[in-house]
Amino acid sequence: MHGFTYTALFALALLMSLAAKFWLATRQMRHVAHHRDQVPPAFVGTVTPQAHRRGADYTLAKGRFGLLATAFGTLVLLGWTLLGGLDALNQALLDTVQPRFGSMAYQLALLAAFALIGAALDLPFEVYSTFRIEQRFGFNRMTPGLFVSDLAKNTAVGALIGLPLAALILWIMGAAGALWWLWAWVAWALFNLVLLVLYPTVIAPLFNKFEPLADAALAARVQSLMQRCGFAAQGLFVMDGSRRSAHANAYFTGLGAAKRVVFFDTLLQRLSPGEVEAVLAHELGHFNHRHVHKRIAGMFAFSLLALALLGWLSTQAAFFEGLGVTPNLQAPNDALALLLFMLALPPFAFFVSPVMAHFSRRHEFEADAYACAQASGQDLASALLKLHEDNAATLTPDPMYVRFYYSHPPASERLAALPAANP
């Protein structure tokens, strides 16, 4: 294929994904605005008109901001690729780092510089989102000091984990021959498995405190539930989510001995003991149905395909030239190929996201059904409503938008599915 073919394919995917994103976002905003003043019939009596309007306003504010972020992200993507940003960065590092420190240092410098510039470009959006939008709706608890310390910690953790991993992958790319992508995939898969153990036990505690449930009566109640479900007795933690945000949540994560259910303290404060038990039962449903395993298997399959594709693309000079980069003659092209691939993939992968979202929503229904069998469906329903209201999630999303983006089914669908699961 010629360079122009790559340019055309990339431009086409970018335009189509952009059109789809704007179409979906405007649909969602129109739909939410249209239903702003009318609580849906199923929720009349349980959700106040004020709470409903607040959910609509929050969704609209995030939607408008999302459109701006998408437009900016597209400009940045074009800047890196067709407009020559990555090429310029590459040439600069090739001239300065490569002669003095060698090929590996040059390649790592390229990856690090790219990541740092990208993070710096995203920073204003993160600041605005946290200190304007979240603040305006009363969700933000983050102080500027904490924001800066998070940023520093994130950068340090990213460098500590990212640089050795990148060095390993680059070494494999250079040393393992034509099938390097298969070995790189093995390394990547192992790294992800290790991360699933390290993240909950080592990394997350750098940012938050995780403690066992303090309330003894409640603890006894959830112990018996966990025993019934065959889950490790020490697997429930309360996290001080209130340090950063008033948003409430609970999640299930980890692998093997590191698996755990995490409740945000913000959620715990709001729920009755019965509701806590029902939410925990939902999370244990994810454990029982092995949803983490299934998600990992899907991710591994996808990354194998992606790496095989990269294995082939990285040998095509036209792939580099078509996306605005001159391949190196005197240095390895591996880091360059990785970056270019990471830039070019998302517009294509966007059209796969509804499939992921579909499976994710199905897992939520399965976990809800499990929760109804192990605990009270009534309690789960009221807990879900509280979660929705506390997070100002809209009750009236656009159905098409839901299909594309929602990892969790909308409240109306989840609640409607509960009685069937709990006869």
Binding site for Zn ion (CB under 5 A): 364, 367
CB of 412 to Zn ion, least distance (A): 17
The encoded tokens of residue 416 equal 């409607």
CB of 279 to Zn ion, least distance (A): 9
Q: In terms of CB distance, is 27 or 259 closer to Zn ion?
A: 259
Q: In terms of CB distance, is 367 or 395 closer to Zn ion?
A: 367
Q: For residue 81, which of 143, 3, 139 has the smallest C-alpha distance?
A: 3
- In a 13 Å sphere around the CA of 386, the CA atoms on its Cβ side amount to 21
CB of 253 to Zn ion, least distance (A): 11
Show the CA angle centred on residue 343, arms to residues 303 and 175, nearest 5°: 55
Q: In terms of CB distance, is 172 or 384 closer to Zn ion?
A: 384
Are the CB atoms for 354 and 404 separated by under 8 Å? yes
Instruction: List strand residue ranges (DSSP E) for 167-309, in order.
Output: 210-211, 236-239, 250-253, 260-264
CB of 212 to Zn ion, least distance (A): 22
Q: In terms of CB distance, is 60 or 417 closer to Zn ion?
A: 417
CB of 364 to Zn ion, least distance (A): 5
- In a 13 Å sphere around the CA of 151, the CA atoms on its Cβ side amount to 15
* Dist CA 276 CA 284 (whole Å): 12
Q: In terms of CB distance, is 288 or 314 closer to Zn ion?
A: 288
Q: In terms of CB distance, is 264 or 319 closer to Zn ion?
A: 264
H/E/C letters for each residue in 389-417? Answer: HHCCCCCCCCHHHHHHHCCCCCHHHHHHH
Residue type, 381: A
Q: In terms of CB distance, is 347 or 409 closer to Zn ion?
A: 409
Q: In terms of CB distance, is 64 or 293 closer to Zn ion?
A: 293
Residue 245's SS3 state is: strand
CB of 203 to Zn ion, least distance (A): 22
Where would I find the H helices in 35-102?
49-80, 85-101
CB of 423 to Zn ion, least distance (A): 22
Are the CB atoms for 334 and 314 separated by under 8 Å? yes
H/E/C letters for each residue in 291-356? Answer: HHHHHHHHHHHHHHHHHHHHHHHCCCHHHHHHCCCCCCCCCCCHHHHHHHHHHHHHHHHHHHHHHH
CB of 249 to Zn ion, least distance (A): 10
